[in-house]
Chain A
Amino acid sequence: MKKRIISIIIVVSMIATLVTGCGSGDSTKNATTESTDASEEGFVIGFSNGYWGNTWRAQMVEDFEARCEEYKEDGIIADYMVSNTESDATEQLNQINAMIDAGVDALIIDPVSPTTLTSAVQSALDKGILVVIGSDPAAYEGTYCVCGNDAAFQSILTTWICEKLGGKGNIVSITGEAGVGTDILRQDAAAEILAKYPNIKELASVPGRWSETEAQSVMSTYLSTYDNIDGVLTQDVMAEGILKAFENAGETPSLMTGDTVKSFLTTWSEMDDFDSIGVTYTCGFICTVLDVAVGLLQGEELNESALVANPYDKNLKNTIMLDPTYVVTREGDQDAVWMEGHDLSKAITLDKALEMVADKADTNFLDGWLSREEVAEAYFK
């Protein structure tokens, strides 16, 4: 009997030493930060990331950590915590609660689902913790939301293709996924732009569900149905699947809205009679989310014009919409028609974009973010 108790105690204490051993370096770091007074030794920032499993998200977390290190060197933040979950809403709540208990000053949350955070947000707000919903939107009273501007993203793409066609021609659309918030915002923007070009005819529009293979099969169907396609309006990763459909049909596309993943940029640069555009929906947005959170912690006030209605709650004016960081075209013309009204977006040439991703893996996205000065100027008083 005694032996049994002893053996169990040994096993458990092994686990305990393992955990404390692994964590000791970090946990002492934690311990010091928890007791720090924010105003004297810097803030503690917690970032709860709701999905972790593709290149884009991994790149986002890297960007966040790099930016945090910059702030740490400047002594503005004392420490930061990052947690990831595979779309598990309960786990995300547990992680957020752990961060609240560890004494963070601000929580940045990329939600698993826009509606599952109520209890965690409430307990954070009760403790006076600043809550910024970042990257993907969600609407909660008392929080800020900083997210990518899907409408701007899509209207740049749509305007580009309409202008390149000289305001006249037939296009086919391959959209994201019906009913998904992001795509609803994007398709509304596209429809608004297309209405301005009455001689552009949209032959058909079908969802490709942001999947290369699905987009490829839709495009193959288009190619066998229509013989008068002048351009393809699509977004994100679907561009590469569409190119494959053209290749399989033995045709070459002339105009198509594209993507900013390195492999697509490379293919595009090798095709002479083909023109495209890439608009970034950067992982680097998270840096701006952090900049805004730090600014707010430092007591700075946001410009009233910076805040717009939340995409999920029109009555809640708590959202900063981030314009695309880069617009990649062959010419890189900042004064082009499609750049109008997007002052914070930088037009760059395809060659420049390729240079920027030169030492990255093929699956990496062209990444970039506003400098801290640009954020301060654009969004703070």
Chain B
Amino acid sequence: MIKGKKVVSQSFFPSLLLLVIFFAIMGVMNHGLTLSFVKSLILTNTPALCLAIGVTVTILVGGTDISLGSIVSLVNVVIITLAGLGYSITISALIGLLVAVICGVFNGIVIGIMRVNPLLTTFATSTIYAGIALWILPNPGGSIDYAFAKWYMGGLFGFIMTPVMLLILLVFIWAGAIRTPFGLKAYALGCNEKKAYASGINVNGIRVLVHTFAGLTAGVAGICLTATICSGSPTVGATMSLNSIAAAVIGGVSLNGGKGGIFGAILGAGFLSILSSIVVAANFSSYSQSFIKGLILLIGVIASILAGDKVLKDKIKGIFCKGGAKS
């Protein structure tokens, strides 16, 4: 019972509930979920899940990062271009990852050390990274050995898939980090920057580290995406940045910083992924698809904010109680 209470009181609980319910709806609509569907869902959406983790950690310290989608495009283009030049898949992927980390460090330096607003910085760098991607590979194209896709679709012990392994790895890195004093400092920074600074916390250093980690997640996302499409497309990540922020919010992460965690973001991103599939499977007309998707999304966000905001909840409770007393 105590354990149950613990789960319910977590900020990610609403997104967990949403995810479970929407999986159930999908199952009912399609007369059971097939293994291959779940597998495709994981393969396709791991990049989005990675980005949700990345953006969440930057939001937690009171910042944000809207350049991650562009980093994904850049990584994709770098891997495909290097593979085209004859480098092995491993080398290409590792260089891609390195590029992403460098982009993250760069964001971190501008935001943390030069103290430029995170939104402005990453807005500018997102254009820069997307521009470099377009410069390297102006037209979609190129290809990489299918072994890369096989590696991605396969996995350890036959059933733990590679994308799941990569996700677990990212989660471990972050979970490990927040168990050190660094974690406490990061949350403190997210709650109140001035107080954190006054308490002697190295604000700049934490920002650099956090954006570097976000860059790493974008690198992993880029590798996963490249393995999914086995080809290069300089604009492929363009739409991913905003989706990842939405995923974080649905997962109970407060945009003001200091509240929430990466589990919520992962669940939120999972919910967004299944939402796309549900709208298709329900066979809504073309004109209403966007509307219905947006509506469900809005309800999801409201539900998750309601669950996390005590003051708001008490107000609503008050309204209901008054109504009850009158009748």
- State the A residues within 8 Å of B (CB): 1, 3-5, 7-9, 11-12, 14-16, 18-20, 22-23, 26-27, 29-31, 34-35, 49, 52, 61, 65, 79, 81-84, 86-91, 93-95, 97-102, 113-120, 122-123, 127, 179-181, 312
A26:B236 contact, CB within 8 angstroms: no
- For residue B40, CB closer than 8 A to chain A, the reply is yes
Q: Is the CB of A98 within 8 A of B5?
A: no
B56–chain A nearest beta-carbon distance, Å: 18
Which residue of the partner chain, among B8, B277, B286, B290, contacts A98 with CB atoms under 8 Å?
B277
B233: contacting residue among A1, A18, A35, A116, CB under 8 A: A116
Task: Decide if B230 is an interface residue (CB 8 Å cutoff).
Answer: yes
Hey, what's the 0/1 contact readout for B37-50 against A, CB within 8 Å counting as 1? 10011011101100
Select one of B45, B140, B239, B280 contacting A81, CB under 8 A. Answer: B280
User: Beyond A8-B13, A19-B278, is A119–B34 a contact (Cβ under 8 Å)?
Assistant: no
On whether the beta carbons of B306 and A11 are closer than 8 Å, the reply is yes
Q: Closest Cβ of chain A: how far from B305's Cβ, in Å? A: 11
Q: Is the CB of B47 within 8 A of A15?
A: no
Q: Is B31 an interface residue (CB 8 A)?
A: yes
B162 within 8 A of A: no
User: Which residues from B are CB-within-8-Å of A180?
Assistant: 139
Within 8 A of A (CB), among B23-63: 25, 28-31, 33-34, 36-37, 40-41, 43-45, 47-48
B169 contacts partner chain A, Cβ-Cβ < 8 Å: no
Is the Cβ of A101 less than 8 Å from the Cβ of B36? Answer: yes
**CB distance B303 to A23 under 8 Å?**
no
Q: Which residues of A contact B240 (CB under 8 A)?
A: 90
- The residues of A that contact B178 with a CB separation of less than 8 Å are none
Q: Least Cβ distance of B93 to chain A in Å? A: 16
Closest to A15 in B: B299
Task: Determine whether B199 belongs to the interface, using a CB cutoff of 8 Å to chain A.
Answer: no
**Given A8-B13, A27-B283, A118-B229, 14 further pairs, Cβ under 8 A:** A15-B296, A23-B284, A83-B279, A83-B289, A84-B289, A89-B233, A93-B40, A97-B41, A97-B44, A98-B37, A115-B142, A115-B143, A118-B149, A119-B229
- Is the C-beta of B232 less than 8 angstroms from some C-beta in chain A? yes
Q: Are A113 and B236 in contact (CB under 8 A)?
A: yes
With beta carbons under 8 angstroms apart, the residue of A1, A35, A123 that contacts B5 is A1
Give 3 nearest A-B pairs by CB, closest first. A23-B282, A115-B231, A98-B277
Q: Taking the nearest CB of chain A, how far is it from the CB of B40, in angstroms?
A: 4
In this complex, what residue of A is CB-closest to B43?
Answer: A119
> What residues of chain B lie closer than 8 Å to A86, measured between beta carbons?
239
Partner of A5, one of B8, B25, B43, B231: B8
Q: Which residues of A contact B139 (CB under 8 A)?
A: 179-181
Closest to A9 in B: B17
Q: 21 interchain pairs (CB within 8 A)?
A: A1-B5, A8-B307, A12-B17, A18-B295, A19-B22, A19-B25, A22-B282, A30-B283, A34-B31, A84-B289, A90-B45, A90-B48, A93-B40, A94-B277, A101-B33, A101-B36, A102-B281, A115-B229, A116-B140, A119-B149, A122-B149
Contact residues, B60-118 vs A (CB, 8 A): none
Q: Give the contacting residue for B18; candidates A12, A22, A120; CB below 8 A.
A: A12
Please tell me which one of the listed residues A15, A113, A122 contacts residue B300 in the complex, with CB atoms under 8 A apart: A15
The residue in chain A whose Cβ has the minimal distance to the Cβ of B282 is A23
- How many chain B residues touch the partner (CB < 8 A)? 68
- Given A23-B282, A31-B31 in contact, is the A94-B233 Cβ separation under 8 Å? no
User: Is residue B292 within 8 Å, beta carbon to beta carbon, of the partner chain?
Assistant: yes
In the complex formed, the residue of A with least CB distance to B289 is A84
Q: A114 touching B140 by the CB < 8 A rule?
A: yes
- With the chains together, A22 CA to B13 CA distance in Å? 25
Chain B neighbourhood of A94, CB < 8 A = 41, 44-45, 273, 276-277, 280
Interface positions, chain B 132-188, Cβ under 8 Å from A, are 138-143, 149
Q: Which chain B residue lies CB-closest to A79?
A: B283
CA distance A114 to B140 in the complex (A): 7
- Give the A-B contact count at a CB cut-off of 8 A: 186
A contact face: mostly helix, strand, loop, or mixed? helix
The answer to whether the Cβ of B119 comes within 8 Å of any Cβ in the partner chain is no
Bound-state Cα–Cα, A23 to B295, Å: 14
Using A22-B282, A83-B289 as known contacts, say yes or no to A12 and B239 having CB atoms under 8 A apart. Answer: no
Q: Is B124's CB within 8 Å of the partner chain A?
A: no
B243 to chain A, nearest CB (A): 8
Q: A22-B284, A115-B232 are contacts. A91–B276 as well, Cβ < 8 Å? A: yes
Which of A8, A117, A181 is most buried by chain B, counting CB atoms within 10 A of its CB? A8
Question: Shortest CB–CB separation between residue A131 and chain B, in angstroms?
Answer: 15
A residues within 8 A CB of B285?
82
Q: A23, B30: Cβ atoms under 8 Å?
A: no
CA A87 to CA B240, docked complex, whole Å: 11
Q: Which of A29, A49, A84, A115 has the most CB of B within 10 A?
A: A115
Q: Which residue of A lies closest to B240 (CB)?
A: A90
A22: which B residues are within 8 A, CB to CB?
282, 284, 292
Interface status of B14 (Cβ within 8 A of chain A): yes
Residue of chain B at shortest CB distance from A19: B25
Chain A residues in 8 Å Cβ range of B238: 87
Residues of B within 8 A of A61 (CB): 286
B120 interface hit (Cβ, 8 Å) = no
Distance in angstroms between the alpha carbons of A19 and B280 in the assembled complex: 12
The answer for the CA separation of A23 and B277 in the assembled complex, in Å, is 13
Chain B residues with Cβ below 8 Å from A31 are 29, 31
CB contact between A117 and one of B48, B229, B283, B289 (< 8 Å): that residue: B229
The reply to whether A115 and B233 contact each other, CB–CB distance below 8 Å, is yes
Min C-beta distance of A90 to chain B, whole Å: 6
Which residues of chain B are within 8 angstroms of A93 by Cβ–Cβ distance? 40, 44, 228
Asked if A118 and B231 make an inter-chain contact with CB atoms under 8 angstroms apart, the answer reads yes
Q: How distant is A94 from chain B, measured CB to nearest CB, in Å?
A: 4
Find the residue from B22, B286, B292 having the highest chain A CB count within 10 A: B286
Alpha-carbon distance A101/B278, docked complex (angstroms): 11
